[in-house]
Chain A
Amino acid sequence: GDSVTQTEGQVALSEEDFLTIHCNYSASGYPALFWYVQYPGEGPQFLFRASRDKEKGSSRGFEATYDKGTTSFHLRKASVQESDSAVYYCALGNTNTGKLTFGDGTVLTVKP
């Protein structure tokens, strides 16, 4: 079945540091890949998606590139801010059902 693996459970950075959160997936065909962000007291919010190999998704300074060869969709941001502190989820959309499968989430804490 479909699965998503986020390597980092927690990431602690200082402002202006570079962020990478690793996401690898397992699925048949060409699933859509997503990143969601959840701020305290809110539900997860759609950040961006990518649907085909080598496509880059981006939003609010975050970006990720769909890599079918390495089955990865790593989240990156060049310079994080304290306001980026949140939980980040990588997700996969099944090509047949549209069902989203979420990774376990990564808690990002950014210190001023």
Chain B
Amino acid sequence: ETAVFQTPNYHVTQVGNEVSFNCKQTLGHDTMYWYKQDSKKLLKIMFSYNNKQLIVNETVPRRFSPQSSDKAHLNLRIKSVEPEDSAVYLCASSYPGTANSDYTFGSGTRLLVI
């Protein structure tokens, strides 16, 4: 099956803890993304990686960092979570560089910070 796979589906943690989310795509795409979706369903891009090179880094807090071992994997680490980090984190992939490239999304990781 070709798709974007995210783990875990759901994670509950306390303020100040470190968390890490995994994403893998089997579509052969060259570019991967992390989006944050808040409770109002707004999609905000956090990071974009093209073949292990960071090419977009929107203004997100320093406690967030992407980690990529190869073009099929893009993980997200949050060093010390805050309550406002509670959200759905969506991973996506695409072929880069053309306006026609559509994105394929994973099912998301739901983070609850208590």
Contact = CB atoms under 8 A, between A and B. Distances in A.
Given A42-B107, A43-B92, A51 B100 contact: yes
B105 A45 contact: yes
A42 B110 CA distance: 11
B99 A98 contact: yes
A89 B43 contact: yes
Contacts of B61: none
A87 interface: yes
A18 interface: no
B102 A46 contact: yes
Interface stretch (A65-73, A75-83, A102-110): A102-110
Interface size band for A? 20 to 34
B106 A43 contact: yes
B98 A43 contact: no
B75 interface: no
Contacts of B43: 44, 89, 102, 105
A32 interface: yes
Contacts of A31: 99
B42 A43 contact: no
Classify the secondary structure of B's interface with A: loop
Contacts of B103: 44, 46, 100
Contacts of A98: 31, 94-99, 101
Contacts of B48: 99
Interface in A24-78: 30-32, 34, 38, 41-46, 49, 51
A49 B102 contact: yes
Contacts of B101: 93, 98
Interface in B62-114: 90, 92, 94-108
B107 A94 contact: no
A95 interface: yes
Given A99-B56, A104-B42, A105-B43, A44 B99 contact: no
Interface of A: 30-32, 34, 38, 41-46, 49, 51, 87, 89, 93-95, 97-100, 102, 104-105, 107
